[in-house]
Amino acid sequence: MSPGRSLVAVVFAFCTLQPGLAQEKPPTPTWQEIMGLGIVPYRQLTVEDIPVNDSAHPKNTFYIRAAMQPRYQFILKPHTTGFVYAYIDQWMIFSGFDKKETSRKSTFKTMKAELPYAQALLDINEIHARQLAALKPGELPSGRGANFDEARADLEGKLKPFIEQRYQHGQAEMTAFAKATNNGADKKKVRELAAEIRKRLDATPAATVPFTAAPSALPGGSVPASPVPSAGGAPVGAGSGTPAPALQRR
Protein backbone atom coordinates (compact mmCIF):
# COMPACT_ATOMS: atom_id res chain seq x y z
CA MET A 1 0.00 0.00 0.00
CA SER A 2 1.18 3.52 -0.72
CA PRO A 3 2.19 5.59 2.33
CA GLY A 4 -0.01 8.07 4.15
CA ARG A 5 -3.37 7.49 2.52
CA SER A 6 -6.22 7.33 5.02
CA LEU A 7 -7.67 5.73 8.10
CA VAL A 8 -11.28 4.98 8.88
CA ALA A 9 -12.33 3.87 12.35
CA VAL A 10 -15.62 2.85 13.89
CA VAL A 11 -16.43 3.43 17.54
CA PHE A 12 -19.25 2.15 19.71
CA ALA A 13 -20.03 4.48 22.60
CA PHE A 14 -21.78 2.51 25.31
CA CYS A 15 -24.27 4.15 27.64
CA THR A 16 -24.61 3.09 31.26
CA LEU A 17 -27.84 3.39 33.21
CA GLN A 18 -28.57 4.42 36.74
CA PRO A 19 -30.03 1.82 39.17
CA GLY A 20 -33.41 2.22 40.81
CA LEU A 21 -36.93 2.54 39.48
CA ALA A 22 -37.98 5.93 38.12
CA GLN A 23 -41.26 7.35 39.36
CA GLU A 24 -41.47 10.00 36.64
CA LYS A 25 -41.19 9.57 32.92
CA PRO A 26 -37.56 10.26 31.99
CA PRO A 27 -36.82 12.09 28.73
CA THR A 28 -35.81 10.06 25.71
CA PRO A 29 -32.22 10.71 24.58
CA THR A 30 -32.20 13.06 21.60
CA TRP A 31 -29.90 13.96 18.75
CA GLN A 32 -29.20 17.25 20.53
CA GLU A 33 -27.60 15.25 23.34
CA ILE A 34 -25.66 13.00 20.97
CA MET A 35 -24.45 15.91 18.84
CA GLY A 36 -23.16 17.48 22.03
CA LEU A 37 -20.70 14.57 22.12
CA GLY A 38 -19.46 15.52 18.65
CA ILE A 39 -21.42 12.90 16.70
CA VAL A 40 -22.92 14.02 13.38
CA PRO A 41 -26.00 12.13 12.12
CA TYR A 42 -25.43 9.79 9.18
CA ARG A 43 -25.57 11.59 5.83
CA GLN A 44 -23.80 11.91 2.50
CA LEU A 45 -20.30 13.17 3.18
CA THR A 46 -18.92 16.40 1.78
CA VAL A 47 -15.40 17.77 1.83
CA GLU A 48 -16.53 20.24 4.49
CA ASP A 49 -17.40 17.31 6.79
CA ILE A 50 -13.68 16.52 6.96
CA PRO A 51 -11.98 19.58 8.46
CA VAL A 52 -8.32 20.40 8.02
CA ASN A 53 -6.21 19.51 11.03
CA ASP A 54 -2.56 18.71 10.41
CA SER A 55 -1.85 17.61 13.97
CA ALA A 56 -4.82 15.30 14.64
CA HIS A 57 -3.61 12.27 12.67
CA PRO A 58 -0.17 13.14 11.29
CA LYS A 59 0.41 9.72 9.71
CA ASN A 60 -2.72 9.90 7.56
CA THR A 61 -3.82 12.16 4.75
CA PHE A 62 -7.38 11.89 5.99
CA TYR A 63 -9.12 10.11 8.84
CA ILE A 64 -12.83 9.45 9.31
CA ARG A 65 -14.35 7.91 12.41
CA ALA A 66 -17.80 6.37 12.04
CA ALA A 67 -19.82 5.91 15.20
CA MET A 68 -22.75 4.13 16.79
CA GLN A 69 -24.29 5.31 20.03
CA PRO A 70 -26.52 2.71 21.76
CA ARG A 71 -29.05 4.05 24.24
CA TYR A 72 -31.36 1.84 26.25
CA GLN A 73 -33.51 1.51 29.32
CA PHE A 74 -34.04 -1.63 31.36
CA ILE A 75 -36.54 -2.89 33.86
CA LEU A 76 -35.49 -4.41 37.21
CA LYS A 77 -38.16 -6.89 38.25
CA PRO A 78 -38.15 -9.05 41.40
CA HIS A 79 -39.36 -12.61 40.83
CA THR A 80 -41.20 -14.94 43.20
CA THR A 81 -38.19 -17.31 43.06
CA GLY A 82 -36.15 -14.74 44.95
CA PHE A 83 -34.15 -13.51 41.99
CA VAL A 84 -34.22 -10.10 40.34
CA TYR A 85 -34.44 -9.95 36.55
CA ALA A 86 -33.13 -7.12 34.37
CA TYR A 87 -34.37 -6.82 30.83
CA ILE A 88 -34.25 -4.08 28.21
CA ASP A 89 -37.55 -2.47 27.29
CA GLN A 90 -36.33 0.56 25.31
CA TRP A 91 -33.57 0.30 22.70
CA MET A 92 -32.27 2.89 20.24
CA ILE A 93 -29.18 3.46 18.12
CA PHE A 94 -27.81 6.84 17.04
CA SER A 95 -25.41 6.52 14.10
CA GLY A 96 -23.15 8.74 12.03
CA PHE A 97 -19.58 9.91 12.38
CA ASP A 98 -17.47 11.62 15.01
CA LYS A 99 -16.64 15.10 13.74
CA LYS A 100 -14.11 15.67 16.52
CA GLU A 101 -12.09 12.65 15.38
CA THR A 102 -12.41 13.28 11.63
CA SER A 103 -9.79 15.32 9.79
CA ARG A 104 -7.57 15.73 6.72
CA LYS A 105 -4.20 17.30 6.06
CA SER A 106 -3.96 20.76 4.54
CA THR A 107 -1.64 19.39 1.87
CA PHE A 108 -4.22 16.82 0.75
CA LYS A 109 -6.01 18.40 -2.23
CA THR A 110 -8.01 15.46 -3.62
CA MET A 111 -10.43 14.81 -0.78
CA LYS A 112 -13.41 15.10 -3.11
CA ALA A 113 -12.14 12.18 -5.18
CA GLU A 114 -11.91 10.05 -2.02
CA LEU A 115 -15.48 10.72 -0.87
CA PRO A 116 -17.04 7.67 -2.62
CA TYR A 117 -14.61 5.39 -0.79
CA ALA A 118 -15.24 7.09 2.56
CA GLN A 119 -19.00 7.14 1.96
CA ALA A 120 -19.10 3.42 1.20
CA LEU A 121 -17.39 2.69 4.51
CA LEU A 122 -19.85 4.97 6.31
CA ASP A 123 -22.71 3.22 4.48
CA ILE A 124 -21.46 -0.16 5.72
CA ASN A 125 -21.46 1.24 9.24
CA GLU A 126 -25.02 2.50 8.75
CA ILE A 127 -26.23 -0.90 7.50
CA HIS A 128 -24.95 -2.59 10.63
CA ALA A 129 -26.26 0.22 12.83
CA ARG A 130 -29.74 -0.22 11.35
CA GLN A 131 -29.59 -3.97 11.83
CA LEU A 132 -28.58 -3.49 15.46
CA ALA A 133 -31.30 -0.90 15.99
CA ALA A 134 -33.94 -3.24 14.54
CA LEU A 135 -33.45 -5.81 17.31
CA LYS A 136 -36.46 -6.24 19.57
CA PRO A 137 -36.14 -6.29 23.39
CA GLY A 138 -36.65 -10.06 23.36
CA GLU A 139 -33.64 -10.45 21.06
CA LEU A 140 -31.36 -8.56 23.44
CA PRO A 141 -29.52 -9.99 26.46
CA SER A 142 -31.18 -10.01 29.88
CA GLY A 143 -29.71 -10.24 33.35
CA ARG A 144 -30.40 -12.06 36.58
CA GLY A 145 -29.07 -11.72 40.11
CA ALA A 146 -29.81 -12.04 43.79
CA ASN A 147 -30.45 -8.29 43.99
CA PHE A 148 -30.83 -5.23 41.77
CA ASP A 149 -27.09 -4.54 41.51
CA GLU A 150 -26.25 -8.12 40.54
CA ALA A 151 -29.01 -8.24 37.95
CA ARG A 152 -27.84 -4.98 36.44
CA ALA A 153 -24.20 -6.12 36.38
CA ASP A 154 -25.21 -9.40 34.72
CA LEU A 155 -27.16 -7.54 32.03
CA GLU A 156 -24.35 -5.11 31.28
CA GLY A 157 -21.78 -7.91 31.30
CA LYS A 158 -23.75 -9.75 28.62
CA LEU A 159 -24.65 -6.70 26.56
CA LYS A 160 -21.09 -5.49 26.03
CA PRO A 161 -19.83 -8.59 24.13
CA PHE A 162 -23.22 -8.85 22.39
CA ILE A 163 -22.72 -5.41 20.82
CA GLU A 164 -19.02 -5.99 20.24
CA GLN A 165 -19.74 -9.11 18.19
CA ARG A 166 -21.96 -7.13 15.85
CA TYR A 167 -19.34 -4.42 15.69
CA GLN A 168 -16.81 -6.99 14.55
CA HIS A 169 -19.12 -8.08 11.73
CA GLY A 170 -19.21 -4.53 10.39
CA GLN A 171 -15.48 -4.09 10.84
CA ALA A 172 -14.82 -7.30 8.90
CA GLU A 173 -16.95 -6.06 6.02
CA MET A 174 -15.11 -2.74 5.96
CA THR A 175 -11.79 -4.55 5.91
CA ALA A 176 -12.95 -6.70 3.00
CA PHE A 177 -14.12 -3.61 1.09
CA ALA A 178 -10.81 -1.86 1.68
CA LYS A 179 -8.89 -4.91 0.48
CA ALA A 180 -11.08 -5.38 -2.61
CA THR A 181 -10.57 -1.76 -3.67
CA ASN A 182 -6.87 -1.58 -2.81
CA ASN A 183 -7.82 0.82 -0.01
CA GLY A 184 -9.79 3.01 -2.38
CA ALA A 185 -7.09 3.31 -5.05
CA ASP A 186 -9.09 1.18 -7.52
CA LYS A 187 -11.75 3.77 -8.34
CA LYS A 188 -13.66 1.48 -10.69
CA LYS A 189 -13.98 -1.19 -8.02
CA VAL A 190 -14.98 1.45 -5.49
CA ARG A 191 -17.82 2.57 -7.76
CA GLU A 192 -19.00 -1.00 -8.36
CA LEU A 193 -18.95 -2.10 -4.73
CA ALA A 194 -20.23 1.22 -3.39
CA ALA A 195 -23.30 0.88 -5.63
CA GLU A 196 -23.98 -2.59 -4.25
CA ILE A 197 -23.52 -1.35 -0.70
CA ARG A 198 -25.91 1.51 -1.35
CA LYS A 199 -28.56 -0.89 -2.65
CA ARG A 200 -28.24 -2.92 0.53
CA LEU A 201 -28.52 0.22 2.63
CA ASP A 202 -31.64 1.38 0.77
CA ALA A 203 -33.16 -2.06 1.34
CA THR A 204 -32.41 -1.99 5.07
CA PRO A 205 -35.19 -0.34 7.10
CA ALA A 206 -34.02 2.85 8.78
CA ALA A 207 -34.39 1.64 12.35
CA THR A 208 -31.79 4.02 13.78
CA VAL A 209 -33.00 7.21 15.44
CA PRO A 210 -33.74 9.76 12.69
CA PHE A 211 -32.26 13.20 13.07
CA THR A 212 -35.72 14.75 12.86
CA ALA A 213 -36.99 12.73 15.86
CA ALA A 214 -38.73 14.95 18.39
CA PRO A 215 -38.04 14.55 22.11
CA SER A 216 -40.57 12.33 23.87
CA ALA A 217 -40.95 10.57 27.18
CA LEU A 218 -40.36 6.91 27.87
CA PRO A 219 -42.90 4.99 29.95
CA GLY A 220 -42.65 5.33 33.69
CA GLY A 221 -41.19 2.53 35.77
CA SER A 222 -38.06 2.21 33.64
CA VAL A 223 -34.50 3.01 34.58
CA PRO A 224 -33.53 6.34 32.92
CA ALA A 225 -30.65 6.40 30.46
CA SER A 226 -27.51 8.23 31.54
CA PRO A 227 -25.37 10.37 29.18
CA VAL A 228 -22.21 9.16 30.95
CA PRO A 229 -20.33 6.51 28.90
CA SER A 230 -19.06 3.47 30.76
CA ALA A 231 -15.38 2.75 31.38
CA GLY A 232 -14.52 6.43 31.22
CA GLY A 233 -15.72 6.68 27.64
CA ALA A 234 -13.67 3.78 26.30
CA PRO A 235 -15.15 2.29 23.11
CA VAL A 236 -16.83 -1.06 23.64
CA GLY A 237 -14.37 -3.79 22.80
CA ALA A 238 -11.38 -1.49 22.70
CA GLY A 239 -10.39 -1.87 26.34
CA SER A 240 -8.48 0.53 28.58
CA GLY A 241 -9.50 3.52 26.48
CA THR A 242 -7.38 2.47 23.50
CA PRO A 243 -8.57 3.26 19.96
CA ALA A 244 -11.05 0.88 18.40
CA PRO A 245 -9.86 -1.30 15.51
CA ALA A 246 -9.41 0.75 12.37
CA LEU A 247 -8.96 0.46 8.66
CA GLN A 248 -5.71 2.02 7.57
CA ARG A 249 -4.89 2.97 4.04
CA ARG A 250 -1.21 3.58 3.45
Averaged confidence pLDDT in the chain = 79
Q: Provide the 8-state DSSP code for 106.
A: T
Q: Are 54 and 104 in contact (CB under 8 A)?
A: no
> Identity (one letter) of the amino acid at 190?
V
Q: Which residue ranges make up each domain of the chain?
A: 6-249
Residue 28, pLDDT score: 81
Predicted confidence (pLDDT) per residue in 86-127, tens digit: 999 999 999 999 999 999 999 999 999 999 999 999 999 999
- CA-to-CA distance for 96 and 113, rounded, in angstroms? 21
| Least confident segment among 67-71, 101-105, 185-189, 233-237 | 233-237
Query: Cα separations (Å) of 230 from 28, 69, 238?
Result: 19, 12, 12
Query: Cα separations (Å) of 244 from 65, 209, 229, 234, 237?
Result: 10, 23, 15, 9, 7
- CA-to-CA distance for 132 and 205, rounded, in angstroms? 11
Q: What per-residue string of b and e applies to 110-129 under the rule 16 or more CB within 10 Å gives b? A: ebeebbbbbbbbbbbbbbbb
Collect all residues with Cβ–Cβ distance below 8 Å to 179 and sequence separation of at least 6: none
Q: Provide the 8-state DSSP code for 183.
A: T
- C-alpha count within 13 angstroms, C-beta hemisphere, residue 81: 7
Predicted confidence (pLDDT) per residue in 15-68, tens digit: 434 344 433 446 788 999 999 999 999 999 999 999 999 999 998 889 999 999
Torsion sign over Cα 187, 191, 192, 196: positive
Q: 217 has which bridge partners?
A: 27
User: What angle do the packed helices 148-180 and 187-203 form, to 10 degrees?
Assistant: 140
Q: What are phi and psi for residue 158, nearest 5 degrees?
A: -85, -35
